[in-house]
Amino acid sequence: MEAPGIQYYLNIFDDYVQKFDNDTQSENIRLKIRHSYAVCNNIIKLSLAENLRSEQMRRAKIVAIFHDIARFLQFDQFGTFRDDLSFNHAEKGVQILKEENILSEETKKSRDLINAAIRFHNRESIPANKLDKNTLCLSKLIRDADKLDIFETSINYHLSNKPLGEINSAIELDLPESSQLHPGAVKDILQGRIVDSDHVASVNDLILLQMGWVFDINFQSTMKIIKARQYIPKLSRALSSNGKMDKIMKALNRRIEKVATDKVS
Ligand SMILES: [Fe+2]
């Protein structure tokens, strides 16, 4: 029997999320529906650029559409997208796929691969040396595809002219405004690593954390998109001016240039 294509899963996704799409919480639910589709489009682009085999690309699309499936229940039950105040949305997602029998048409091998990639998508890092080649590849793809859309969403949100006082707590994660950057977050970037979540105390720190993702990008094709779409300079415009900004941008640009232009063997 042939494995189901992406349309089969998009229908299941649409049916599942429809239950949560009502008037009182529509904005944040729709934000995540749009995000799931966007990540699916991103993963197709990356899979093509990385010459994935068709079966692995099919699995990548399934991972993308369902990677945030627990976000809907999370917002419905807790009114937040913060895992620390509710549940780990990656682990919960795997549980939902099982309970709803969503992957029942997949072979055990496919199911295991898809579940593993979803489980690892929000971890601080992937346990690379413990994973087989296919799991590692899917995990890397979903993390890059996810980040690309978070860059888009964050830029659109922060650089739009919001009416004063109109903040989206689902995006800002209930963090306070502050013109200062956490010294630990600045240090992380200047030393060439992703920002530790303990160093995020304000909306500005969260933006800096997102900019620091250039130290956690897996594929050159992803970095080329980040460079071409100027995500990092655009995000920097959302930060209030800070004495450290020049150094921060230098460190980030150096990384982008290195990965985007390096000859890969
Ligand atoms: Fe997620």
Q: In angstroms, rounded to a whole number, what is the distance separating the alpha carbons of residues 138 and 145? A: 10
The predicted structure's pLDDT at residue 1 = 66
In the reported structure, the alpha carbon of residue 118 is separated from the centroid of ligand 1 by a whole-number distance in angstroms of 8
In the reported structure, the alpha carbon of residue 235 is separated from the centroid of ligand 1 by a whole-number distance in angstroms of 20
List Cα–Cα distances, 135 to 93, 104, 124, 139, 253, in angstroms: 17, 19, 17, 6, 30
In the reported structure, the alpha carbon of residue 116 is separated from the centroid of ligand 1 by a whole-number distance in angstroms of 13
In the reported structure, the alpha carbon of residue 67 is separated from the centroid of ligand 1 by a whole-number distance in angstroms of 6
3-state secondary structure string across the chain: CCCCCHHHHHHHHHHHHHCCCCHHHHHHHHHHHHHHHHHHHHHHHHHHHCCCCHHHHHHHHHHHHHCCCHHHHHHHHHCCCCHHHCCCHHHHHHHHHHHCCCCCCCCHHHHHHHHHHHHHCCCCCCCHHHCCHHHHHHHHHHHHHHHHHHHHHHHHHHCCCCCCCCCCHHHHCCCCCCCCCCHHHHHHHHCCCCCCHHHCCCHHHHHHHHHHHHHHCCCHHHHHHHHHCCHHHHHHCCCCCCCCHHHHHHHHHHHHHHHHHCCCC
In the reported structure, the alpha carbon of residue 136 is separated from the centroid of ligand 1 by a whole-number distance in angstroms of 17
The predicted structure's pLDDT at residue 132 = 94
Q: In angstroms, rounded to a whole number, what is the distance separating the alpha carbons of residues 220 and 251? A: 18
Closest Cα partner for 28 from 86, 62, 78, 88?
78
Domains of the chain: 6-147 (1.10.3210.10), 175-261 (no CATH)
In the reported structure, the alpha carbon of residue 263 is separated from the centroid of ligand 1 by a whole-number distance in angstroms of 31
Return the CA Rg of the chain. Answer: 19
In the reported structure, the alpha carbon of residue 225 is separated from the centroid of ligand 1 by a whole-number distance in angstroms of 20
In the reported structure, the alpha carbon of residue 238 is separated from the centroid of ligand 1 by a whole-number distance in angstroms of 23
In the reported structure, the alpha carbon of residue 144 is separated from the centroid of ligand 1 by a whole-number distance in angstroms of 12
Mean pLDDT by 10-residue block, N- to C-terminus, for the chain (265 residues)? 90 94 77 96 97 97 98 93 94 98 97 98 90 96 97 90 64 77 95 94 93 96 97 91 87 96 71
The predicted structure's pLDDT at residue 145 = 98
In the reported structure, the alpha carbon of residue 246 is separated from the centroid of ligand 1 by a whole-number distance in angstroms of 31
Which positions ≥6 away from 46 have C-beta within 8 Å?
60, 141, 144, 145, 219, 221, 222
In the reported structure, the alpha carbon of residue 81 is separated from the centroid of ligand 1 by a whole-number distance in angstroms of 9
In the reported structure, the alpha carbon of residue 253 is separated from the centroid of ligand 1 by a whole-number distance in angstroms of 26
In the reported structure, the alpha carbon of residue 89 is separated from the centroid of ligand 1 by a whole-number distance in angstroms of 7
Which positions ≥6 away from 234 have C-beta within 8 Å?
155, 159
In the reported structure, the alpha carbon of residue 244 is separated from the centroid of ligand 1 by a whole-number distance in angstroms of 30
In the reported structure, the alpha carbon of residue 8 is separated from the centroid of ligand 1 by a whole-number distance in angstroms of 22
In the reported structure, the alpha carbon of residue 201 is separated from the centroid of ligand 1 by a whole-number distance in angstroms of 20
